[in-house]
Structure 1
Amino acid sequence: MPRRSTPRSVPESRTPEHPNGDEVNRRLAALIDVAGTVSRSLDLDITLNRALDKVMALAHADAGGILLYHERSRTLSYRVYRGLSEEFVRKIGRIGLGEGIAGRAAELRKPIISDDIARDPRITRPLPGIEQFKAFMSIPLVARGRLLGVMNISTRDARGFPPEAVSLVSSISDQVAVAIENAQLYEALKRKERTRGDLLRKLISIQEEERKRIARGLHDEISQSLTGLAFNLEAVLATLPPDATETRGKLEEIKTLSIRMLEEIHRVIYQLRPSLLDDLGLVAAVQWLADNYLEEAGIRVSFETIGTERTLAPEAQIALFRIAQEAITNIVRHSNATRVNISVEFKKRSAAVHIEDDGKGFNVEEIMGSRETDRGLGLLGMKERAELLEGRLAIDSSPSRGTRIDVEIPG
């Protein structure tokens, strides 16, 4: 019977005895090199691939892979690999904690080495092509006491892994584990941001639909009723005898009040959802904001269109309009401006609105950080609307220097 190789378990703290200066320098250079390589990206797959390539090159390995640990199922599975067949990886599937060499290394949180993996008694599954490998090393990846996975490397000949290689790879594994933890945290953050973004998009969509519904209701019911009242009052006034001056005066007051209410309701309808935006586009809608807010407040307005006006994607158009609406409202309420320059710019793959006033300005960081004020929340809402559509919002202001707002959104 062929003699089975004796597996080795190597404590994480084991180092070669009395390493010379050259060996220490090599180890330090390798650690610095790996740390720099794996920290260049927060993308998990890029980090894992770079780490595996570096470790395999330093250890002169012919094959290898990184298995990530799944806390809920307490299993390991390959995420990236080199020199292994897809059939081999598929056959391995998920490895339980404590199962096989990799599972055992993860459970013990210590490197395990086998001089002949094909004959190792801990290999309990038939794995295709395992006979082509000889020396095998499995190193746990642990960061801040938390198991993240295991890194396996192997050779196709009997040269094995000397103690200094084991020590070097074990030291490198700490750097790799921290990089993996950072990448996983970044992935989790991106997932949360995507979920938050989806919810915000849904909320904004619901809000816009509700605004349209309310505007339609105001137009179809209250606005038409007031219009009818004004016409009826006009008809009654036409039938009054010349000497009914007191009655005429009271009816004229009611008529004037009803017309004023009708104008205010039309203003509210346009605030909720201007038909100009749907019918004539962004330029006409922003021009309406300038005419009905700024000029009415006694602020002079310079308005221009840059580029050739075109139809925008509905979500981009409404976002730019709402941001312009918030900016103009803030100018009227807070700026004490006497002049405002507005431009709507159409680029090849995006559109932008630029609004600049000569008002008293403000401390951007202070106001943006004040979430308890309407103004602070309004500015944050503008920023979120732009970023949800992969756009950008820039606010340039300081006390006594006026304010400039630039927003650009793809569309």
Structure 2
Amino acid sequence: VDRMKAGERFNGRLAQSGDPLLVADASEDPRLTRAVVRKERLQAQLIVPLISKGKVVGTLCAAMRRPRQFHSEEIELLTAIGNQIGVSIENAHLYEQERLIAEQLRVSEKNYRELFENASDAIWVHDPEGNILAVNKACEKLTGYSREELSSMKAFGMLSERGLDIVREMERKLLNGESLDHPFEVELINKGGAEAIIELQTTLVTTGGQPTGFQHTARDVTEQRRMQENLRFYVQQITRAQEEERKRIACELHDDTAQALVALSRQLDSFISSDEHLPMQQITFLEELRQQANSILEGVRRFSQDLRPSVLDDLGLLPALEWLTSELRTQYGVLAEIKVLGAPRRLPPEAELVLFRIAQEALRNVWKHAQASRAVVTVEFGDSKMGIEVSDDGKGFKVPPRVGDLTSEGKLGLVGMLERARLLGGSLVVQSDLGKGTTVAVEAPI
């Protein structure tokens, strides 16, 4: 029959009430609205609901072309049959839903398996004991082991000792409900014994809310790290060459240019003193020349010191930093001080030079750009690392979100400091806000 709303016709009224309906003569009943019943000359009808979970899901009708009185046993029997049919309909719906869900799961699992197998990154899954449960093609390629070989191995056997410690710490954090904000770099040992550097991401695998294993996704970054190391080596060589050239120019300025200016100044002084018959106008002119020579001499000495301060080579980093702060006070009127934390000690000459250049550039920014009245240099010596922090009360600036943006914004000095820090295997952090000053902090292992 066509669909009908609750309350329409015999079946619709029964669906609304939920009670069995007896019709003595359907063809003469005023509640009838369907012409087919009259056409078929149907008379006696017994209609019972099909009920499932307390709801009417349909109706079951027994009709005859003659008058008939239905007994209570017949009503009960047909009602029971209707209830069974209602349950069967509900079961059929449930079965269809389960079939659709199962099909969706099958498709989803198939898609995941394809993504898993064809991923460019190596992926492996292991249980809490380290037994490898699943690997993809990229994992076979990265490790050099076949799928069968990996399935009989412990996952930890592929990692270096340092890498194993890192992975265990990552897994411990995941089991404690902590999140891993970024991937970690570890060393992986392939079948041939070669070491590869991988960028590793780890996720916890759970079943029913309980941890059942870990999934690791690894990306081989060996070539990238080698290129970075080569680039760092080239930068180191260029920096060393620059410093050697700075040192050579500083020596030439001190030994040649400065000495020549000293000699010129003394000659002018001697000439003025020895000739008593010089007109006053010429004496004044020669005095101005001598003052200009002395001024140029001071500039050459200062420039020579900036290029390569002898105090750094002779006495070390701390006296060189004290000289920098002294120059900041006397030359530019910035109230600068130095604080030392920890036990001071000498560092390798190259390390002292790199840290000095970073501090020198930071203090140059203080008087050149920050418009600051006060600056503090804090030097901290630790057991295995050293830090230098330069802070000021200047106008500050907006720090770009990415280091690469420093170059495009013309902050080449900060880029140079960052590259120098990386030469030592250290890090550089710049914090600044408009109107709140700037802090440059470098930290390096020693």
Q: After TM superposition, is the score higher than 0.5?
A: yes
Asked whether the 8 Å contact 1:316–1:409 carries over to 2, the reply is no
**Which one-letter code corresponds to 1:270 in the other structure?**
Q
Asked whether the 8 Å contact 1:344–1:353 carries over to 2, the reply is yes
User: Taking structure 1 as reference, are residues 79 and 407 closer, same or farther at Cα in structure 2, changes over 3 Å only?
Assistant: farther
Name the larger-Rg structure.
2
1:220 is aligned to: 255
Q: Which of 363, 366, 371 does residue 407 from structure 2 map onto?
A: 371
CA distance in 2, matches of 1:215, 1:50: 62
Asked whether the 8 Å contact 1:276–1:285 carries over to 2, the reply is yes
Q: Secondary structure of the residue that 1:289 maps to in structure 2?
A: helix
Q: Do residues 349 (structure 1) and 384 (structure 2) align?
A: yes
Give the paired residue count.
278
Q: Which of 234, 242, 266 does residue 269 from structure 2 map onto?
A: 234
In the TM superposition, residue 330 of structure 1 has moved relative to its aligned partner by: 1.0
Partner deviation per Cα, 1:228-253 (whole Å, 9 max, x = no partner)? 11222222223121664333222211
Which runs of structure 2 are paired with 1:297-336 in the superposition (5 Å)? 297-336=332-371
Which runs of structure 2 are paired with 1:8-407 in the superposition (5 Å)? 57=133, 68=141, 179=217, 183-184=219-220, 186-241=221-276, 244-365=279-400, 369-374=405-410, 376-407=411-442
In the TM superposition, residue 68 of structure 1 has moved relative to its aligned partner by: 3.1
In the TM superposition, residue 346 of structure 1 has moved relative to its aligned partner by: 2.0
Asked whether the 8 Å contact 1:302–1:340 carries over to 2, the reply is yes
User: Taking structure 1 as reference, are residues 48 and 313 closer, same or farther at Cα in structure 2, changes over 3 Å only?
Assistant: farther
In the TM superposition, residue 361 of structure 1 has moved relative to its aligned partner by: 0.8
Asked whether the 8 Å contact 1:274–1:285 carries over to 2, the reply is yes
Unaligned ranges ≥5, structure 1 = 1-17, 60-64, 70-75, 85-150, 152-175
In the TM superposition, residue 295 of structure 1 has moved relative to its aligned partner by: 3.9
Asked whether the 8 Å contact 2:428–2:442 carries over to 1, the reply is yes
User: Taking structure 1 as reference, are residues 398 and 212 closer, same or farther at Cα in structure 2, changes over 3 Å only?
Assistant: same
CA distance in 2, matches of 1:217, 1:205: 18
CA distance in 1, matches of 2:397, 2:425: 26
In the TM superposition, residue 209 of structure 1 has moved relative to its aligned partner by: 1.1
Unaligned ranges ≥5, structure 2 = 1-98, 153-190, 192-214
Asked whether the 8 Å contact 1:340–1:358 carries over to 2, the reply is yes
Partner deviation per Cα, 1:102-156 (whole Å, 9 max, x = no partner)? xxxxxxxxxxxxxxxxxxxxxxxxxxxxxxxxxxxxxxxxxxxxxxxxx9xxxxx
Partner deviation per Cα, 1:277-328 (whole Å, 9 max, x = no partner)? 1111112212222222344222112222222321111222111111111111
Q: Secondary structure of the residue that 2:391 maps to in structure 1?
A: strand
CA distance in 1, matches of 2:292, 2:345: 40
CA distance in 1, matches of 2:336, 2:412: 26
Asked whether the 8 Å contact 1:294–1:328 carries over to 2, the reply is no
CA distance in 2, matches of 1:187, 1:377: 29
User: Taking structure 1 as reference, are residues 226 and 58 closer, same or farther at Cα in structure 2, changes over 3 Å only?
Assistant: closer
**Which one-letter code corresponds to 1:341 in the other structure?**
V
Q: Secondary structure of the residue that 2:434 maps to in structure 1?
A: coil
**Which one-letter code corresponds to 1:284 in the other structure?**
P
In the TM superposition, residue 219 of structure 1 has moved relative to its aligned partner by: 1.6
Percent of aligned pairs with the same residue? 31
Partner deviation per Cα, 1:18-52 (whole Å, 9 max, x = no partner)? 9x97xx79x96xx79x97xx99xx9x8xx67969x
CA distance in 1, matches of 2:319, 2:285: 39
**Which one-letter code corresponds to 1:277 in the other structure?**
L
2:211 is aligned to: none
TM-score of the two chains, using structure 1 as the length reference? 0.58
Asked whether the 8 Å contact 2:126–2:134 carries over to 1, the reply is no
Partner deviation per Cα, 1:33-89 (whole Å, 9 max, x = no partner)? x97xx99xx9x8xx67969x9885469xxxxx97538xxxxxx965995699xxxxx
Q: Secondary structure of the residue that 1:371 maps to in structure 2?
A: helix
**Which one-letter code corresponds to 2:257 in the other structure?**
I
Q: Secondary structure of the residue that 2:400 maps to in structure 1?
A: helix
CA distance in 2, matches of 1:272, 1:50: 58
**Which one-letter code corresponds to 1:274 in the other structure?**
P
Q: Secondary structure of the residue that 1:407 maps to in structure 2?
A: strand
Asked whether the 8 Å contact 1:294–1:332 carries over to 2, the reply is no
**Which one-letter code corresponds to 2:235 in the other structure?**
L
In the TM superposition, residue 222 of structure 1 has moved relative to its aligned partner by: 0.9
CA distance in 2, matches of 1:49, 1:238: 93
**Which one-letter code corresponds to 2:340 in the other structure?**
T
**Which one-letter code corresponds to 1:357 in the other structure?**
D
CA distance in 2, matches of 1:195, 1:79: 33
CA distance in 2, matches of 1:296, 1:56: 67
CA distance in 2, matches of 1:219, 1:49: 67
Q: Secondary structure of the residue that 1:303 maps to in structure 2?
A: strand
2:445 is aligned to: 410
- Superposition CA RMSD, Å: 4.1
User: Taking structure 1 as reference, are residues 245 and 333 closer, same or farther at Cα in structure 2, changes over 3 Å only?
Assistant: same
User: Taking structure 1 as reference, are residues 344 and 56 closer, same or farther at Cα in structure 2, changes over 3 Å only?
Assistant: closer
User: Taking structure 1 as reference, are residues 56 and 383 closer, same or farther at Cα in structure 2, changes over 3 Å only?
Assistant: closer
In the TM superposition, residue 339 of structure 1 has moved relative to its aligned partner by: 1.2
CA distance in 2, matches of 1:195, 1:50: 36
2:5 is aligned to: none
User: Taking structure 1 as reference, are residues 308 and 234 closer, same or farther at Cα in structure 2, changes over 3 Å only?
Assistant: farther
**Higher RCO structure (Cα 8 Å, ≥6 apart):** 1
